[in-house]
Chain A
Amino acid sequence: MKTKTLFKTALMVVALGAFTFSVTSCKKEGCTDDTAENYNPNARKDDGSCVYSKKQTPDPKPTDKADVTGLTKIGEGTTAEGTKLEVYGLEKAFAGYNYLFLAVYDKDGKLLKDGKLSLTTLMDMGTKKHASPVENPTSEKASDKGLYEAQVYFTMPSTSGSWKLIVTFVNSANAEEKADVSVTVDEPSNKVYLSFVAKDDSSKIFLAWALSQKPKVGVNDMEIVAFKMQDMMMFPPQTGLTIEIEPEMPSMGHGSPNNVHPVETSGGHYKGKVNFTMSGYWKIHVVVKRSGTIIADNISFDYSL
């Protein structure tokens, strides 16, 4: 019965083939992390098999250089005495509250870790000049990475004029050196800075969202910094405010629950929690009060997660 056997075998093969073919995943699994050793560009779904080389961290830098891994250089300058200053940020300088890291090298290229560093900002708009809020390093010693940490609030981007940092460095010999560092300040892609005129005393107040790391879906610590414009050159921290936040996704018309209004910690810093339930464009409405009166309420930050 030859045809019978042939027919049987053919059907068996078809059945087996169909079964195996369909059961094998069309969604190929493998390692999808391109930093891993076994990265598979054809894998569509990560199966947790990624293997990382132990040499992930680069060789330790020679001790005479500051550790600037992960930072972006935003400018540099040299003092009259030949001391070189390099300025880094978490990203390129932007209008808003920037976390800056400065490395000081003497004229021979040796990293200086002792000395008092301070800075001011200057925006030259041609017809006028003004400074902006600055928080100087709290220590007279550089960090373990050899960097001095300061925070600078650029109140506008470089399109209005040109910014520079005026850095003063008092070295171990107590000699004061100065250098100018030109900085290009971009308009940030997210609105993380704002200013308003207080309704009670008409003072100009600058607020910024201090982002030491990018916000994510979930519960985020939210830190807001506030500074007051005393005059064109002086911008002290603004204390004594009551800040209320309300996040919203404008195109969806919904907010998120369980946010915590920022509470003043010190020196114009206010810490709370802001919650994002999904990625997308979020607007954080801000209401500022002082001694019970609302001094600003039509202001907001925004962020596209």
Chain B
Amino acid sequence: MLCCACCATWAQHADTAIFLQIKPIELQTVYISDVTDRDDSLSSRRENVLGQFDYSIEAIPSLSVLRRGGFGFEPVLRGQQGNRSVLVIDGMRIAGACTDHMDPATGYIEPINFNKLDIETGGGGLSGTGTAGVLSIHTAIPSLNRNEVNLRSGADYRSSSRGYSVFSTADYSGKTTSISTGITRRHHHNYTAGGNREIAFTQFEKENFYTAWVQQLGKRMTFQMQYIGDRGRNIGFAALPMDVGRANADIGGAALMWYPVVGNWEKFVAKAYLSKVYHEMDDTRRPPESISMHMDMPGWSLTQGGFLQAFYNRRGRTKVSVHAEVYQQFSRAEMTMYPTGEAEMFLVTWPDITQRVIRLNTDFSHEKSLRQKFGINLNGEIQSSVMSDSLGIRQFSVYDTTHLTMRTDPVGAIDLFWQWRPFKPLHIKIKSGIAMRAPGRSELFGFFLFNTQDRYDYLGNSHLKSEKVWRNELTFSWLSNRWSAGVSAFCNLYRDYIYGVRDVGLGGVTPGSSGMKVWQNLSGAVFTGGEARVTVKANQRVVVRSDVSYIYAAQSDGSPLSMIAPLRWSISPEFTRGKWKYAMCATGQFQQNRIDVWFGEDVTSTWAILDASTAYKFSGKRSFTFECVLELANIFDRYYHAHLDWGNIPRMGRSLNLSLVMGWQYKMRKS
């Protein structure tokens, strides 16, 4: 119900805003069908097709990003890191292959790959597992029977990084078959921060190719196949001592959808998928004097899974969805170090970790009246985690002879919601639930994973208990013609919160390390805060959007948890006149004083920046559209960094960004 992403278009400085007639791409949180039925320009945001996905994610109020370079920001939902925020792509799971989080799965997705990003905070949905919630990307699966061919092509240039992005998509939608494909390429050099200071190692280069095919088989069945391939190279990570040499991902899935007329059962889905990631670090581009020792750090991950879904719908009021899934995730990472004049050192940092999950998820909702709706979501899963590399087992035996090589964790969640509309514009929603999360691969079996922010080596702990959370959320939304507002407050109380704790008896390992931290269960932790958004439509031409978000996080003794974003705000007025649109966006974050000193955090000062942009949209003959956007980001060339910028690397300074997108639509005669 909370429709966010207002500042997404005018996202932090570097991106251009494009409003496309063809295939609008929306970023909004959805889960309640009745509200979003409205084709409401206030609640849907047509998004930036060329923009770097990283910046679009960051503008969403409930998300913050951990930034380590110029590309590949790690999204965090309401301050809760790691696999507490789960990402799925059309129900398919993908795991990064870098032990230092340099390849979040969102780095492998391009805006043209997807249609919609849903953020389900807390419980609910059919993707299970995340205690903080789920980020669900719905890709651009073409729909059938539109009888048209759409072609789009675009390019953009960003002055701060002297870089460009180009893309091309082609979609065909026929009566029984539809296909869409697209290709993107980005190449950016180091960007400059305020005062014309070049930030070294923020370059990146990548290509992305996707394709999706839908085929109608018989009257009530369709077959879908999709593939996304992403190849990145020479991706700088200024906050770390090394960059990414290569990051390659392949995601593929095939699904069968059946729409029977069997009682009230609407749809059955059977899907199988595979995602493969290869990641490799590269320190050869760094000045030799900055590297204590040359290292090779490759990583591999392979996820395979399949699920069955059934959807029941009785008169549009009672809905039941059942989802049964199995998946397996394999991860391996190695580290080889080359000291001069000595034997090379080798260790496995992810010693052939396989996690297998079997789960059953049911979602039930009932609309008692036009004003009331309630539901329950149940998720039960069994996760088995195995470490099978014999070298890895021997490595761990030095620290703990009782170290387990396998364990089975039954986990699950129960969430309830109740939605009420006491009178027309006001919606109230309350959600409450309990969930359990089994420890992840690094938390259990990670060996000497060096964290460059706190400069500690992290050691896995196979005796960790599963994490428990009691999650609650209260949302108020007001939707009227002139203005809409939403406030969402949450409170997640954790028990056995998994966190890295210093072990003073153990020394660090990586050159320059301050020591060793072992993953432990804290007795408790609390995350609370919320987001608020207001959109005012002053008249036909003027719209003002604003949002604010805040998180408070603490351990049970009140001490702060690491890397929590401070109070964030943004306000963007927008003026439309004919083919032209003018907008500004002011955004900023307040000082963050609540820091975990043992995590190497320091206080970040308050900052604010201002962007301005102009867009021109032209629709010509033969369904041709052309859009051009010129943006001046960070007008005052402020030199600043956000609290979650790893190593305090500065953000982009003033940048002039230009983008052009052209599209053609060819309507076919029905045969």
Contacts and interface: CB of A to CB of B under 8 A. Distances in A.
Contacts of A219: 394, 397-398, 401
Interface stretch (B363-371, B501-509, B637-645): B501-509
Interface in A1-60: 1, 4, 7-8, 11-12, 14-16, 18-19, 22-23, 25, 27
Contacts of A253: 511
B225 A251 contact: no
Contact of A257 (B213, B225, B398): B398
Contacts of B293: 251
Contact of B398 (A18, A23, A275): A275
Contact of A11 (B181, B343, B508, B510): B181
Contact of B342 (A7, A23, A281): A281
A43 B344 CA distance: 24
B227 A19 contact: yes
A257 to B, nearest CB: 6
A11 to B, nearest CB: 4
Contacts of B212: 15
B154 to A, nearest CB: 21
B202 interface: no
B398 A249 contact: no
A262 B164 CA distance: 64
A249 B342 CA distance: 11
A255 B213 contact: no
Contacts of B397: 218-219
A136 B337 CA distance: 43
A278 B345 contact: yes
Interface in A152-178: none
Contacts of A279: 343-347
**Chain B, interface SS category:** mixed
A71 interface: no
Interface string A249-293: 101111111100000000000000001111111000000000000
A1 to B, nearest CB: 6
Interface in B392-411: 393-395, 397-399, 401
A305 interface: yes
B179 interface: yes
A304 interface: yes
B172 A11 contact: yes
A125 interface: no
A129 interface: no
Contacts of B603: none
A19 B398 contact: no
A12 to B, nearest CB: 6
B195 interface: no
A255 B399 CA distance: 12
Interface in B202-219: 209, 211-213
B51 interface: no
A267 B172 CA distance: 86
Given A22-B229, A218-B398, A219-B401, A15 B181 contact: yes
A130 interface: no
A70 B276 CA distance: 43
A18 B211 contact: yes
B399 A258 contact: yes
Given A19-B211, A256-B398, A280 B179 contact: no
A145 interface: no
A256 B400 CA distance: 12
A249 B394 contact: no
Contact of B179 (A1, A12, A217, A305): A12
A23 B250 contact: yes
A217 B225 CA distance: 46
A216 interface: yes
A280 B337 contact: yes
A257 B211 contact: no
Nearest to A305: B343
Contact of A281 (B179, B339, B391): B339
B559 to A, nearest CB: 27
A280 B394 contact: no
Contact of B225 (A15, A216, A218, A277): A15
Interface in B342-400: 342-347, 391, 393-395, 397-399
Interface residues of A, number: 37
Contact of A217 (B211, B213, B395, B508): B395
A276 B172 CA distance: 60
Contacts of A23: 227, 250, 252, 274, 276
Nearest to B346: A279
A1 B671 contact: yes
A14 B181 CA distance: 10
Contacts of B507: 254-255, 257
Contacts of A251: 293, 339, 342, 511
Given A219-B401, A254-B509, A257-B399, A281 B343 contact: yes
Contact of A280 (B229, B252, B344, B506): B344
A7 B225 CA distance: 18
Contacts of A7: 172
Contacts of B668: 4
Contact of A278 (B276, B347, B506, B508): B347
A254 B508 contact: yes
A94 B213 CA distance: 68
A254 B227 CA distance: 46
Nearest to A7: B172
B342 A304 contact: yes
Contacts of A280: 337, 339, 342-346
A275 B395 CA distance: 9
B582 to A, nearest CB: 40
Contacts of A22: 227, 229, 250, 252
A279 B339 CA distance: 12
A8 B394 contact: no
Interface string B106-132: 000000000000000000000000000
B177 interface: yes
Contacts of A216: 394
Nearest to A22: B250
B253 to A, nearest CB: 9
Interface string B493-506: 00000000000011
A252 B177 CA distance: 60
Contacts of B566: none
B232 interface: no
A219 B397 CA distance: 7
Interface string A45-83: 000000000000000000000000000000000000000
Contacts of A249: 345
Interface in B504-541: 505-511, 513
Nearest to B503: A257
Contacts of A19: 211, 225, 227, 252
Contact of B229 (A16, A18, A275): A18
B177 A12 contact: yes
A1 B172 CA distance: 15
A257 B506 CA distance: 7
Contacts of A8: 172, 174, 177, 179
Contacts of B510: 252
A217 B276 contact: no
21 contacts: A8-B172, A12-B177, A14-B181, A15-B179, A15-B213, A15-B225, A18-B209, A19-B211, A27-B300, A216-B394, A217-B347, A252-B337, A252-B509, A254-B509, A257-B398, A258-B399, A277-B395, A278-B448, A279-B347, A281-B345, A304-B343
Query: 10 smallest A-B Cβ distances: which pairs?
Result: A218-B394, A280-B345, A304-B343, A278-B347, A251-B339, A275-B398, A281-B342, A19-B227, A15-B211, A11-B179
Interface of A: 1, 4, 7-8, 11-12, 14-16, 18-19, 22-23, 25, 27, 216-219, 249, 251-258, 275-281, 304-305
Given A11-B213, A277-B347, A277-B398, 15 more contacts: A12-B177, A14-B211, A15-B211, A18-B229, A19-B227, A22-B250, A25-B276, A252-B345, A252-B511, A257-B506, A257-B507, A258-B398, A278-B346, A278-B347, A304-B342
